[in-house]
Structure 1
Amino acid sequence: MLEQMWQSFISLPSYLLDANKRIYIPYLLSAVLMAVPVYFAAQQKTQRSLAGFLMFLFPKKVWLCKSAKLDYCLLITNVLLKAALFAPIVLTMVPVAILTTDTLEWAFGQPLHLAWSEAAIMTIFTLMLFIVDDLTRFLLHLLLHKVPFFWEFHKVHHSAKVLTPFTIYRSHPVESYLYACRMALTQGLVVGFGYHFFGTELSMYDILGANAFVFMFNIFGANLRHSHVRFSWGDRLEGWFISPAQHQIHHSGDPQHFDTNLGSALAIWDSMYGSLIKASSAPNITIGVGQYDAGHDSLGAIYLKPIKQAFKTLFKTKSADKTDTDEVEVDSKP
């Protein structure tokens, strides 16, 4: 176990070089480039400067906030805890894929193994991975918000008082475990279906090792989702894809925005569920920590309090009311 923890710890710098990680350097650089037009729109021409842009991008009140410092710590401590506690028991893809293929064979007979072109199979398999992954992310996210027991763990993420790209790593290990199992379930289902229809010659289109669609989503400002930089894609695109500004609305302190924009990349799930809000409908928001301010002001509180509160919900008939206190402004275009 100690060896596994050590290997996980020393692998942390590789996150910057891994296209499957949100803080991959090109993703961070693309977010910086996308922040430029937001800065230009917010500042008069005579006031624009490189120093001004850097101050706009890295305000001390955000990056040096106690909440942000906890996020930096959580990136490290969560990696160690997951290696020590959850790695041996997390659901894996292989048994799910085998179960899926066996079920399909039992229900529909022998695998089809369609003789389609390699390009067609790769396109379908890559698209299936992306769509099913995004759908299951939405469903789990919805579960985390709507079921009080699970909400206590997801509340850790929403207890952030400021947003930075490192807020993506602000999560309770129980939530991380659920997402890891979700990924195995998703990949197993898609691989199982892929094998039934196309055989073992399955591969996806990737860019530097990441699903091509995921790479494109991340390169177009995914790191601005957790930031003070408000970047909207416009109403038309926001009906199909969740923009950085839309995810910031998900963190809004306004009660009418609670439990909205739950999707990761695609907005169609929120549209069907009725939880989609476009950035133009919420031009001036604040990041609220009212209902989320559960005293997550230390690592101990972040890890232990959700466990205590989650089990308390099993004996309650209704969840706590949502309030709106202690908010942080989000920069927006004029």
Structure 2
Amino acid sequence: MLDAIATPLLATFELIAGYFTDANQRIYWLYSAVAIAMAIAVFLFKRLPLTALISRDIWWHPSARQDYVIFFFNRLLKMLGAIPVLLVMAPMAIALSGWLETTFGHREFIVLANWQIIALFTALLFLVDDFTRFLLHYLLHKVPLLWEFHKVHHSAKVLTPITIYRSHPVESFLYGMRMILSQAIAVGVCYYFFGPTLSMFDILGANVFVFAFNVMGSNLRHSHVWLSWGNVLEHIFISPAQHQIHHSDKRIHIDCNFGSALAIWDKAFRCLVLASTVKHPKDITFGLGKSFVEHDSLPAIYYMPLVNAFKKLNPLTYKRKKTLPEQR
């Protein structure tokens, strides 16, 4: 009995430890170290006390403590129910390649230099992944049923790098399926045009574009460190400050800046907000408003989205009303 409990717990701790040594994870030690250095530089430039970076009011806030527990518990669920991506992605990629051949006919593989194929495949992987992240995030806000699950993430009252893992298991499942689909699309399309020998440019095992995004302070997106890239770059890339705007509890901000790395999708969907539009960044507060207490307990974080989603599925009880932050 004890072994049945201890084994998955130990495996979960090992999985969490791996997040700090895997360059594909946001809190990889190098990304975290660079983010700390950038945060210190920002505070020194703005002449802010460095002690604020390790404020107990942030790192030990009840909301932050929820994030730590959710991070562990969701990893436990992931470990128990994980499906190896390649077991699902590979058949989907082959099926897509077959569909392309059936629809557009058989074609000889395009002959390019190996580095050119690698560059195209690497770029396509990144673009498809980033766009599908944006699209799912957009739908999580716009579809009332999905919003009930995404509210868990937005109910965070303080932001730390661990807040990225604050999500309901249903949302985590959707993002997992999105990842499988995006990789299958990139692999299937490139297989059809270039053949089965595919590889990508990587740094420490991470897509070079993903590595660049993470090393440029991605961990500051969920933080109280206001870092803007400036108006020109923020039309192309989402800065940490822009994502903090997305977490603002002001109604005018919650449906903007859905992008992960690229801002071009938000610009195309007319939901891009630049950091320069916020006159007083220090006045931004996070969450869903003071009156929102639905996720103040851990059990409620897991069961309330299911309850509310069921209500929305029931036409007799559902009234089309989206829960948004109170107007401030």
Q: Distance in 2 between matches of 1:11 and 1:102?
A: 36
Structure 1 residues 11 and 93, CA gap change in structure 2 (3 angstroms): same
Q: Distance in 2 between matches of 1:292 and 1:134?
A: 34
Structure 1 residues 109 and 90, CA gap change in structure 2 (3 angstroms): closer
Q: Paired residue for 2:36, among 32, 37, 58?
A: 32
1:103-118 matched pairs, under 5 angstroms: 103-118=99-114
Matching residue's letter, 2:105: G
Q: Paired residue for 1:164, among 155, 160, 163?
A: 160
Query: Could you list the per-position Cα deviations for residues 37-96 of structure 1 after superposition, in whole angstroms to 9, with x for gaps in the alignment?
Result: 3212332xxxx7xxx42x121111100101001111111100111233464899821221
Question: What residue is the counterpart of 1:239 in the other structure?
Answer: 235
The normalised TM-score by structure 2 is 0.91
Query: Could you list the per-position Cα deviations for residues 248-275 of structure 1 after superposition, in whole angstroms to 9, with x for gaps in the alignment?
Result: 0000111111210000000000000000
Q: Paired residue for 2:321, among 308, 319, 325?
A: 319
Question: What residue is the counterpart of 1:226 in the other structure?
Answer: 222
Q: Paired residue for 1:174, among 167, 170, 174?
A: 170
Question: What residue is the counterpart of 2:118 in the other structure?
Answer: 122
1:17-96 matched pairs, under 5 angstroms: 17-43=21-47, 52-53=49-50, 55-85=51-81, 87=83, 92-96=88-92
Aligned residues: 318
Q: Return 19-28 or 294-303, whichever deviates more.
A: 294-303
Q: Distance in 2 between matches of 1:99 and 1:277?
A: 39
Question: What residue is the counterpart of 1:330 in the other structure?
Answer: none
1:262-301 matched pairs, under 5 angstroms: 262-284=258-280, 285-290=284-289, 293-301=292-300
Contact 1:153–1:306 at 8 Å: present in 2 too? yes
Q: Paired residue for 2:15, among 8, 11, 17?
A: 11
Q: Paired residue for 2:186, among 190, 194, 199?
A: 190
Cα offset for 1:169?
0.6
Structure 1 unmatched ranges of 5 or more: 328-334
Contact 1:92–1:181 at 8 Å: present in 2 too? no
Structure 1 residues 323 and 9, CA gap change in structure 2 (3 angstroms): same
The normalised TM-score by structure 1 is 0.90
Query: Could you list the per-position Cα deviations for residues 160-202 of structure 1 after superposition, in whole angstroms to 9, with x for gaps in the alignment?
Result: 0100000011000000000000000000111001111111110
Q: Distance in 1 between matches of 2:135 and 2:45?
A: 36
Question: What residue is the counterpart of 1:307 in the other structure?
Answer: 306
Structure 2 unmatched ranges of 5 or more: none
**Percent of aligned pairs with the same residue?**
50
Q: Return 90-99 or 191-200, whichever deviates more.
A: 90-99
Q: Secondary structure of the equivalent of 1:17?
A: coil
Contact 1:63–1:164 at 8 Å: present in 2 too? yes
Q: Distance in 2 between matches of 1:232 and 1:20?
A: 24
